[in-house]
Amino acid sequence: MIEINNLTYQYQVDAAKVLDNVSLSFKSGDWVSIIGHNGSGKSTLVKIMMGILEDYEGEILINGNKLTKENIANYREKFAIVFQNPDNQFVGATVEDDVAFGLENQGVAREEMVEKTEAALTAVNMLSYRRHAPARLSGGQKQRVAIAGALAMAPDVLILDEATSMLDPEGRKDILNILEDIHRERQTTLIYITHDLSEIEKSDYAVIMKDGEVLNRGSIEHIFSDTDTLIKSRLVLPYQMQISRALLKGEYVTHGELVEK
Ligand code: ADP
CB-based contacts of 15-24 (< 8 A; 24+ apart in sequence): 17/212, 18/44, 18/212, 19/44, 19/45, 19/48, 19/56, 19/212, 20/211, 20/212, 20/213, 21/58, 21/213, 22/58, 22/209, 22/212, 22/213, 22/214, 23/58, 23/214, 24/207, 24/214, 24/217
Ligand 1 centroid, distance to 48 Cα (angstroms) = 12
Each residue's pLDDT tens digit, 6-41: 999 999 988 999 999 999 999 999 999 999 999 999
Instruction: Give distance in angstroms: CA of 10 to centre of ligand 1.
Output: 9
Average pLDDT, the chain: 91
Least confident of 36-40, 131-135, 246-250: 246-250
Q: Which domains does the chain have, with CATH numbers?
A: 1-78+157-168+184-234 (3.40.50.300), 89-154 (no CATH)
Q: What is the pLDDT of residues 202-237, one digit of tens each?
A: 999 999 999 999 999 999 999 998 988 988 998 887
Name the residue of 10, 35, 43, 191 whose CB sits within 8 Å of the most ligand 1 atoms, as the mutation to test its pocket. 43
Q: How confident is the model at residue 242 (pLDDT cuts 50, 70, 90)?
A: confident
CA of 214 to the centre of ligand 1 (A): 16
The pLDDT of residue 227: 86
The pLDDT tens digits for 64-76 are: 999 998 898 888 8
Q: Give the global pTM.
A: 0.90
Ligand 1 atom closest to Cα of 37?
Answer: 3
**Closest residue (by CA) to atom 11 of ligand 1?**
39
**Sign (positive or negative) of CA dihedral 105, 107, 111, 115:** negative
Dist CA 117 CA 10 (whole Å): 38
Instruction: Tell me the C-alpha distance between 113 and 104, whole Å.
Output: 7
- Best residue for ligand 1 mutational test, from 33, 40, 82 (most atoms within 8 Å of Cβ): 40
Is the alpha carbon torsion for 224, 226, 227, 232 positive or negative?
negative
